Amino acid sequence: MARIARLPDRVANKISAGEVVQRPASVVKELLENSIDAGASRITVAIKDAGKELIRIVDNGAGMVREDALLCVERFATSKITGVEDLESLQSLGFRGEALASISSVSHFELKTRTEKETLGLRFRYEGGVLVEESGVQGEQGTTISVRNLFYNVPARRKFLKSNATEYNHIFEIVKSFALAYPEIEWRMYSDDEELFHLKRPDILERLNVFYGDDFAAGMIELSEENDYLSIKGFLGKPAMQKRRKLDQYFFINRRLVQNRMLSQAVQQAYGDLLVERQTPFVLLFLAIDPSRVDVNMHPAKLEIRFDDERNVRNMFYPVVKRAIQLHDFSPDLAVTERDQLRPGQNLDSPLRTFSFPDIPHRSITTGALYQNYREGAFAESATSRHSPELFSHPVSAGHALPTGGFREADEVLSSILLAPLYDDDEVPNPKNSEPKIWQLHNKYLICQIKTGLMIIDQHVAHERVLYERAVDVMTQNVPNSQQLLFPQKVEFRPWEYEIFDEIREDLYRLGFNLRLFGNKTIMIEGVPQDVKPGTEVTILQDMIAEYQDNASKLKLEKRDNLAKSYSCRNAIMAGQKLSLEEMRSLIDNLFATREPYSCPHGRPVIIKLSLDQLDKMFGRK
């Protein structure tokens, strides 16, 4: 007697449902794809008990005649394709012909539909995949599908559903992604009879504000690039809007929501040091490519895709994102910074006050607008200050630390300022001869007047950025960067330190360290990079090796990048170190000569801006 038997359709449907219908959000996704494929311009989503009790999708699409309505819940029945060759020119979201059969087999399923030509609609009700009722019904053109008691006949699957909050979030994310991908469609959503949103206008930026809060769209970078092979359009979030979850990254291939590791990694690498560790930028990108170059038939959920030439796509995608990021001012405003939870930094500094930053060949500078704002701040005049000096034009101002000696010292300073005589009109200093005004706060932050308000710079991470970029450039382009020591310094390494030293010895030489072996695990330092302060040569080298090992164990960094970050972190000036006016100006000028002055190599912000408008609001002027 034969031991192999064909499974009944009801059993096969339940097994298939395990792949297609993993949770309530899977049902919502499949039904919304059908509504969009039907040409709907209005879609309403209603759920109860996080989709466990009810999922209802109402659309005004084309609707179905009776024959199609009966076939749509059969396995492998679809109107989207007729042969294998159609998969290479796929224009629809659905095509497998499994979704409705799977959903109806594990729920109480009801379908109402009416075409434009019919005056009376049709209603079909299924229980566990079996048709139990058919009737006529009044209704508007389109299709309404109601899914009740999901997994009622598969208790093992229902038992593994998560909490209502978790299942609701998955559903909301799916609906949100479709609402962003199809702004031309009017979307409405209800949860337990409460309206969550109603989106009428075809404006993606407006919808971003609805989902993420007022002014969210103002932080978007618009991106648009197109060639014969690939079209890329959409929005990137500024680093100040970074998130700890990748749910806020949306990639659409031919308007299909997809998950693709290559695209995610390319975006992450394009942002580079602008991101805090383990955080991701907001992304909403639409890629259009010839359907024959994409395989969307990799998984029943249709979320995973494969490109026929992934390397070629990446080589086009990555530079576009990178260029869009480099062309924008990423210094955060104070209002944004107060809301964000930035990773606390580490004061891993060594004493140094050398800000030399020689010209490196082939450098590209992307900070012209903010630097010009900073330079113009030297002679920016308020409309009300024509006959009186600026408060900080007093000798206690530019280049002098703000008082830290308590109330008495502060009172003396303020008194001297308030009692100072006003300039006559012909004695007002010539603004053209002025330098940008800079103050050092608590020997830690630099405060600069800019044309549009003020700018605050963290002196330690600013110097880190300067040293990091110089280190990368001198190692990459073999720029001479060593100064010989009059008296060589001896360093005795522990075994683990010597192993790391041996690994990075060649790049240390490129960076500017002239090192000679001197016995077992002992070296002589005969030359160091120009930025290393005399007397710290041994400490800097040992600290760099410790930092390098720590980075290697926690982060996946390329060797030279790791070395440059270790060098800059251990060699930058300390917070708490007093700087002269010339040192402050030199540091800021060198910072603006870097490619990415807005964050340190570890992702911490370097610059925060506060506009005059924000100050006016704080003081009740607006």
Please report, rounded to a whole number, the percentage of residues in the chain having pLDDT higher than 70. Answer: 73
Q: How confident is the model at residue 575 (pLDDT cuts 50, 70, 90)?
A: confident
Please report, rounded to a whole number, the percentage of residues in the chain having pLDDT higher than 90. Answer: 33
Q: What pLDDT was estimated at residue 247?
A: 59
In this predicted structure, which of 233-242, 528-537, 580-589 has the lowest mean pLDDT? 233-242
Give the span between the Cα atoms of 297 and 421, in whole angstroms: 80
Total of domains in the chain: 3
Q: What pLDDT was estimated at residue 617?
A: 85
CATH code, domain with 252: 3.30.230.10
The reply to whether 240 and 127 lie within a common domain is no
The reply to whether 243 and 375 lie within a common domain is no
Residue 122, pLDDT > 90, answer yes
Last residue of a domain, one of 201, 216, 251: 201
Give the span between the Cα atoms of 204 and 181, in whole angstroms: 8
Range 210-214 contact pairs with CB under 8 angstroms and sequence separation of 24 or more: 211/176, 211/179, 211/180
Q: What pLDDT was estimated at residue 80?
A: 57
Q: Which residues contact 449 (CB under 8 A, 6 or more apart)?
A: 377, 378, 380, 392, 436, 437, 455
The reply to whether 487 and 507 lie within a common domain is yes
Residue 1, pLDDT > 60, answer yes
The reply to whether 180 and 256 lie within a common domain is no
In this predicted model, what pLDDT tens digit does every residue of 151-188 receive, in sequence order? 998 888 888 888 898 899 899 999 999 999 999 999 99
Average pLDDT over residues 312-326: 90
The reply to whether 130 and 277 lie within a common domain is no
Q: What pLDDT was estimated at residue 370?
A: 66
* DSSP per-residue string spanning 401-457: BPP-S-HHHHHHHHHHHHTSPPPPGGGS--GGGPPPPEEEETTTEEEEEETTEEEEE
Give the span between the Cα atoms of 239 and 271, in whole angstroms: 8
Last residue of a domain, one of 185, 201, 217: 201
Structural contact between residues 223 and 285, judged by C-beta atoms closer than 8 angstroms: yes
Q: Dihedral of the CA atoms 44, 47, 52, 54 (nearest 10)?
A: -70
SS3 531: coil
The reply to whether 308 and 451 lie within a common domain is no
Residue 55, pLDDT > 90, answer yes
The reply to whether 241 and 364 lie within a common domain is no
Domain span including residue 323: 206-328
Q: How confident is the model at residue 64 (pLDDT cuts 50, 70, 90)?
A: very high
Structural contact between residues 291 and 91, judged by C-beta atoms closer than 8 angstroms: yes
The reply to whether 460 and 550 lie within a common domain is yes
The reply to whether 142 and 65 lie within a common domain is yes
The CA-atom distances, in angstroms, between 347 and each of 278, 571, 596 are 20, 11, 21
Per the structure block, which two tokens stand in for 558? 């390329």
Last residue of a domain, one of 134, 169, 201: 201
In a domain? residue 423: no
SS3 62: coil
Q: How confident is the model at residue 82 (pLDDT cuts 50, 70, 90)?
A: low
Structural contact between residues 17 and 158, judged by C-beta atoms closer than 8 angstroms: no
SS3 327: coil
Backbone angles phi, psi at 243, to 5 degrees: -120, 165
The reply to whether 231 and 144 lie within a common domain is no
Residue 40, pLDDT > 80, answer yes
In a domain? residue 226: yes
Q: How confident is the model at residue 212 (pLDDT cuts 50, 70, 90)?
A: confident
Determine the longest span between alpha carbons in the chain, in angstroms. 114
- Most confidently modeled of 81-95, 182-196, 218-232, 304-318? 182-196
In a domain? residue 510: yes
Q: How confident is the model at residue 413 (pLDDT cuts 50, 70, 90)?
A: very low
In a domain? residue 571: yes
CATH code, domain with 130: 3.30.565.10
CATH code, domain with 444: 3.30.1540.20
Q: What pLDDT was estimated at residue 341?
A: 40
In this predicted structure, which of 222-226, 362-366, 372-376 has the lowest mean pLDDT? 362-366
Number of residues written out for the chain: 622
Per the structure block, which two tokens stand in for 444? 């830690």
Give the span between the Cα atoms of 597 and 371, in whole angstroms: 10
The reply to whether 621 and 522 lie within a common domain is yes
Per the structure block, which two tokens stand in for 597? 């002055």
Give the span between the Cα atoms of 587 and 565, in whole angstroms: 18
The reply to whether 176 and 224 lie within a common domain is no
In a domain? residue 424: no
